[in-house]
Structure formats: C-alpha cells, structure tokens
Structure 1
Amino acid sequence: MKTSLNFILVLVATTFISFLTPAEAFQKSKDKFVVVLDAGHGGHDSGNLGSGYREKEIALKIVLAVGNALKENKGIQVIYTRDSDKFVTLRGRAKIANDADADLFVSVHCNAHNSAANGTETFVLGLHANQRNFEIAKKENEVIFLESDYEKHYEGFDPKSPESLIGLTLIQEEYLDQSIRLARSIEDSFQNRHKRKSRGVKQAGFWVLHNTYMPSVLVETGFLTYDKEGAFLNSLSGQAKMAESITDAILAYKKQLDMNIGEGIYQENANQVEAALEEQPQVFNDIMFKVQIAASSKELDPKPYNFNGLDAISREKIGSLYKYYFGQTSDYTEVKRLELQAKLKGYKSAFIVATKDGELIDLSEALKSASN
C-alpha cells in the first residue's frame, strides 16, 4: 500500500487541480451528462398485455419521446438500451449503462394487477417492503427465463425466491440517495404536471437496477389492466404526457446536481485535506483498521478497475455476501485518511472497521480498550 505521505501528496494535488477544472469534469471525466433510457421488454417478450395493450410498445414510445426531448439539451447525451422492437437481456441492459459510464439509468414499464389498482409508482432498488412490491419485482425479473442460457449468467439468482433478493440492494447502496431523489422528482412530476395518481416511491429487488453502477430507477407509468389508465397510456396524448413528466424530472435532477457542484464542495474537500495533514499518528498495538467500501452478493476481482481506481482492496465472504475493504493499518489517523480517499473516489457510505486477531470488533470499543 502507498505510504501515508504519498497519499497526502496525491490528495493535495488532486484537490488543487480540481480548483482549475470545470465542475462537470471533477464529477466525471466526460463532457456530457449521460442518460441511459431503457424501454422495458421487447421482441418476443411483450410484457403486460392488459386490456389488449402491449407494454413493450408503450414503453418504447415513451422512452423515445423522452430521449428526443432530452437531446435538445446540448449538455446531455442519450443512450437507448433499445430503440426498436427487439429483445435485450437484463444483463445486456445493465452492461449498456455501465459501459457508457452513465450518470442516470431510467427504465420505463407499465404495470398490471388482477384488481382495480391504478396510478404511477417509481422504484429504487431495495428489499421488498411488502408482498405486493415483491410480486412486481418477481414479474419483471422473470424475464431472465426467456434467455436460453440464463443459468450461467445470473449466478443462481431465482426471481421467485425472496432470499435471492436480499443481496441485490448492496451493490446499489452507494447511489441510493440519488436514486430516491430522482424517483421522487419523477413521481412529483407525474402528479403535479399532469395530475396523474401517484402511488409513491418504493423499493423492490429488480435485477436490472442491481447491476447498474449509477443512480437508477424503474418507472411503472400506470396499470394497463385498469381500463381508463390503459387507454390513456395507449394513446399518443397519454404517452406524450408521461414522457414530458419524466423529461422534466430528469432535467430538474440534473439542475439540482449542477447547483450542488461548485466552489463550496471543492473548499470542503480542501478543508478535509488540510485537517488530515495536521493530525498526528495514532498507532494501536493489537488493532488493525480498514475501510469497508462495499458489500455485495457478487464476487468481484479486488482490482483497481473494479473500485474506481482504489488499490489495496481486500475481499471477505461473510455468509452469502462479499465485503470489500480498502487498506489496512494499525494507525487510526491513517485509516481516517483512507476513508477520506474512498469517499472522494465516490464511496460516500464508506466507513472504518476494526479487527483484533482477525475478528471484527466494535470500533468504539477498539478505540477505548486498545492501548497506544
């Protein structure tokens, strides 16, 4: 692992350069804000067929309208997972977004239920809070069964099993706050601009959201099985209104993000660096510290390219989950610098853990009991 001095020098240089670099470049090393739009289903996967309407066709028309509107903004690049009636695997959709280093992933669908349920709802990844949310996620995830070789690509994932969903939330954990913010903006836009009934922002275990490495949402634009709503979504007017609402929400999200990037953030980073330089070493004899940056059901190679350039990554399997740690040191001051480095690399939820004789122990107890 690099020495503390090397880390500080690199951190200072990075922070200094950020003062000379445009905000967008500091946030991501590309010129445009990339939005990946995903029209659910397609090809031999028709999706819901409520009242004779085809989900795959409605979702595509809404997505293309959103994309055309967003393209009018020169600062936005739009990428479609599909722009025609073709089948794209769940893993293929996620790969398109990840390969594009997208800033947002928005998947558009239409709902169905054997009741008079109606209204919009936007999902972020999370454990199913109730049976209804689980059933929605299960139905969308079962698309994998339409793939001839799904067993070798989804690592034993079973859409029908609640247990299979437990690990899905963790890989998206870093982006949950931003995903919720976008989801809330979409639902507010549906409700306020076009007076649609909103069922709110919800969490459920959608595989396609799990495997994307950026803020991601899945939008259910309404229930095709509710006659009035199905007819609305199948109309050109209805599709245009839903597209306008989603477009407005994405633009509002981007504007809010742009407003939060600026000198204030750079100064905050500079202050953190200055504080890190001033702290003296705090070495504990029998305690090792490291920074947990992620946990996932997916086994990733502990290489820098998988962790935003961070090196010295270690991996530990606990139960069915893999936990990923950055660095290892007996110096508590040093591990706080490593935590800062991880957060500056995008792991905002990174936190310090302590071990003694190879076993995890409570951090506060470690700091109290260990002798310097």
Structure 2
Amino acid sequence: MKTNRILLFVSFIIVLTFPSVVSSQAIDKFVVVLDAGHGGKDPGNLGNGFREKEIALKVVLAVGKELEKHPNIEVIYTRKKDVFIDLFVRGKIANKANADLFVSVHCDSHTSQAYGAGTFVLGLHRNKTNFEVAKKENSVIFMEDDYKKNYAGFDPNSPEDAISVILGLEEYLDQSIYLASLIQDNFVKLNRKNRKVKQAGFIVLHQTVMPSVLVELGFLTNNREGKYLNSKMGQQQMSSAILDAILKYKKSLDLNTAEVLIENNDLIESEPMEFDNVVFKVQIAASSRKLMPKPYNFKGLDAISRTREGNLYKYFYGNTSDYNKTKSLVQQAKSKGYKSCFVVAFKDDKKVSLSEVLKTKPN
C-alpha cells in the first residue's frame, strides 16, 4: 500500500507538469461499445418469469443514452432491439470500431435464492462457481450457425477449453479490472450484495482486443432481486452505476492516472491457485554478464535467482507455487522499471511451458 501511495503522488506530479498531454487526449473520441446480452431466439435466463434479454437491453440503452450526451464519447451498440447476435460478431463490432471499452450486460440465475451483483473480466476461472457462470453465458454458441467453425471447436462445457482460449490474452487485464472495480464500487453504494470482481473465460470477452468487462446485474431467480431488476427504478439505478463508472474510467485516462490506480492489488478477488511441484518466477532480464543475484544489482528487488542458457544468464524475481501471486510480483517488477518482465514456470528445476502448466488442474 505504501508503494501505491508513492505511485499516486508521482502521477499527481505528472498531471501538473504535463497539462498539454491531458488536453490532447481529452479531444479524441472515446469509443464505448455496449453489449446487451442474449436477444432474439435466445432469451437468456427466465428467472421468476422475467427475461434477461429485455432487462439487459433496457439497461444498456439507458447507459448509452446518457453517454451520447457527451460530445467526445461515441457509443456503439451490438444490438438496439430484440435480435440474436452471435458472440463472435459482438467482438467483431467492437474490434472494427477500434473501441476503447467493451461492456457486456447480463443477469444471473441460480437454483437457490442467491443474490448480488458481480463484474467479470477475462481470465482463469478461480473456482467452480466462476466457471459455471461463464459456462452458462458461453453456452449461447450452441444457438449459432457454424459454431464449431467460428470457435475452432471450443467446448464451453470443458474447463480445459475455457482456460486455453484466454491464455496469453491478458494484455488489457489491468484496465479491465480497474473499470470493473469502479462498476462494482457503485453497485455496493446501491446496497447490492457485493459479489466482487472476478475472472472467468467468457467467449464474448475473449473476442475483443480492448479493456472489457461483463456485468451480472443480479439474480432474476431471487424473488426480491428479480423484481428490482425488472423495475424501472432498479434499471435506472443500475444503469446509472455503470454510466458513472465509465465516465470515471475515461476521466482517469484524461488525467493520466489510470495506470497508477490499477496498481492496487486489492481490486480483484484472489484465491490460491497452486500447482504441485511447480514454481513460478518472473523473468526480469537476460544478459551475457554474470551478476550476483543481489538487490543492489536489480534496483532493490530481492529474491533474485539466476540460470544459464547457452551464452546467456537469465535473472528471475520471486518464487511461488501460487500462480495468482505472480500478478503481484509482475507489478512490483514493473514498478522498478522492468516493463517487459513475464512469468515463467519451473518443474524439478527445469523450465516448462507456462500454458501447459495452466491447462492442468491446480490444487
């Protein structure tokens, strides 16, 4: 937390020193793609007789209507009426528009009286619950023509397939987490039960190449929450929460503070993701020089290790069997100037494929 405070102070100095940069960024059109989940032949979930596709569309249109009042924001909808849109097409719409943000809106369901609002970003399923949520939303592809061709044989019922599609696609993860946290904070202010920011392998997020989030407004299957989400008041409040978060996100970009704010590691729910006999490290450098693995040689970072591969010495920071902890290690290394650092995996002291390790089942 001390590091975050220092970074925040530095960003404040940057904002005061370079006002011209702020002004030029604010002039550019900020493109937001709003995606109302389901539609047409796909009603989404029908908890308590309510229709997910209708509620999602009403909320999306309300958000878009207010965003369109800002001259420097362009709003694009994946659908504005009750039509069926393939998941991969939704992503294509956003990519073609070179969007700055992609926000997909849905409603959840459960066999119990579960309730609460949650926001998801693309990533590995932290637990079975997250996988089940993603599986329900991903199952829409079975309604699409040529889904096997469009998704290269992807099976939404397979945890292994769900993991494989998102490996290496976390380029925009930090920004997505930041936006998701703003949305989630606003939901909490509405006294919605906080189901937190989580990661899961949603196909619709996988198809996009920009910061993207998927919002679960709440559970239509919950008697009380279903009525709330189906009401004008509920839809107005939830759309206002999403709208406010998007505007705050854009403002942070205009002020050059987003990169600092997303350094906060407490934004996303974190659960251990440990693998037997596997150690994860962050590679920070490779050199022909043999350096002592001491903090004074690596900008103060400790827990440095070294290996030799051919004529090169490779240097690594950290050592953990919990893959989730590597995100914190990467952020720490980047804060010291190692911007191109990345995670590697070792098994029995030998480097192994990170993607292959992550396809196996963690403890």
User: TM-score, normalized by length of structure 1?
Assistant: 0.65
SS in 2 for 1:256: helix
Identify which of 153, 156, 159 aligns with 1:162: 159
Q: Where does residue 250 of structure 1 map in the other structure?
A: 246
- The residue type paired with residue 217 of structure 2 is T
Q: Where does residue 237 of structure 2 map in the other structure?
A: 241
Query: Greater Rg, structure 1 or structure 2?
Result: 1
What is the alpha-carbon distance in structure 1 between the residues aligned to residue 217 and residue 63 of structure 2? Answer: 13
1:78 and 2:75 aligned: yes
Q: Where does residue 202 of structure 1 map in the other structure?
A: 198
- The residue type paired with residue 148 of structure 1 is D
Q: Where does residue 124 of structure 1 map in the other structure?
A: 121
Structure 1 segments unaligned to the other structure (5+ residues): 1-18, 265-280, 290-342, 355-359, 363-372
Aligned pair in 2 of structure 1 residues 171, 93: CA closer, same or farther (>3 Å)?
farther
Aligned pair in 2 of structure 1 residues 105, 24: CA closer, same or farther (>3 Å)?
farther
What is the alpha-carbon distance in structure 2 between the residues aligned to residue 205 and residue 24 of structure 1? Answer: 37
1:104 and 2:101 aligned: yes
SS in 2 for 1:174: coil
Aligned pair in 2 of structure 1 residues 25, 166: CA closer, same or farther (>3 Å)?
farther
How far does residue 351 in structure 1 lie from its aligned partner after superposition? 3.9
Runs of 4+ in 1 over 3 A off after TM superposition: 19-27, 281-289, 348-354
Q: Percent identity?
A: 58
Q: Does the 8 Å contact 2:52/2:107 carry over to 1?
A: yes
1:312-350 alpha-carbon deviations (Å, 9 max, x no partner): xxxxxxxxxxxxxxxxxxxxxxxxxxxxxxx9xxxx964
How far does residue 122 in structure 1 lie from its aligned partner after superposition? 0.2
Q: Where does residue 54 of structure 1 map in the other structure?
A: 51
Q: Where does residue 148 of structure 2 map in the other structure?
A: 151
Q: Where does residue 277 of structure 1 map in the other structure?
A: none
Q: Does the 8 Å contact 2:25/2:254 carry over to 1?
A: no
Q: Where does residue 174 of structure 1 map in the other structure?
A: 171
Structure 2 segments unaligned to the other structure (5+ residues): 1-17, 261-286, 291-308, 314-333, 345-349, 353-363
Hey, which of these two has a bigger chunk of helix by percent? 1
SS in 1 for 2:178: helix
What is the alpha-carbon distance in structure 1 between the residues aligned to residue 138 and residue 127 of structure 2? Answer: 17
1:260 and 2:259 aligned: no
1:72-107 alpha-carbon deviations (Å, 9 max, x no partner): 111111000000000000000000000011010000
Identify which of 64, 67, 78 aligns with 1:67: 64
What is the alpha-carbon distance in structure 1 between the residues aligned to residue 201 and residue 342 of structure 2? Answer: 28
- The residue type paired with residue 159 of structure 2 is P
Q: Where does residue 87 of structure 1 map in the other structure?
A: 84
What is the alpha-carbon distance in structure 2 between the residues aligned to residue 361 and residue 200 of structure 1? Answer: 34
Q: Where does residue 5 of structure 1 map in the other structure?
A: none
How far does residue 167 in structure 1 lie from its aligned partner after superposition? 2.1
SS in 2 for 1:172: coil
How far does residue 21 in structure 1 lie from its aligned partner after superposition? 8.1
SS in 2 for 1:195: coil
What is the alpha-carbon distance in structure 2 between the residues aligned to residue 60 and residue 206 of structure 1? Answer: 19
How far does residue 31 in structure 1 lie from its aligned partner after superposition? 2.7
Q: Where does residue 282 of structure 2 map in the other structure?
A: none
What is the alpha-carbon distance in structure 2 between the residues aligned to residue 128 and residue 106 of structure 1? Answer: 19
Cα-Cα RMSD:
3.0
Q: How many residue pairs were aligned?
A: 263
- The residue type paired with residue 61 of structure 2 is L
How far does residue 172 in structure 1 lie from its aligned partner after superposition? 3.2
Counterparts in 2 of 1:19-34, with a 5 A limit?
A: 23=22, 31-34=28-31
What is the alpha-carbon distance in structure 2 between the residues aligned to residue 42 and residue 24 of structure 1? Answer: 40
How far does residue 288 in structure 1 lie from its aligned partner after superposition? 7.8
How far does residue 352 in structure 1 lie from its aligned partner after superposition? 7.7
Counterparts in 2 of 1:175-194, with a 5 A limit?
A: 175-192=172-189, 194=190
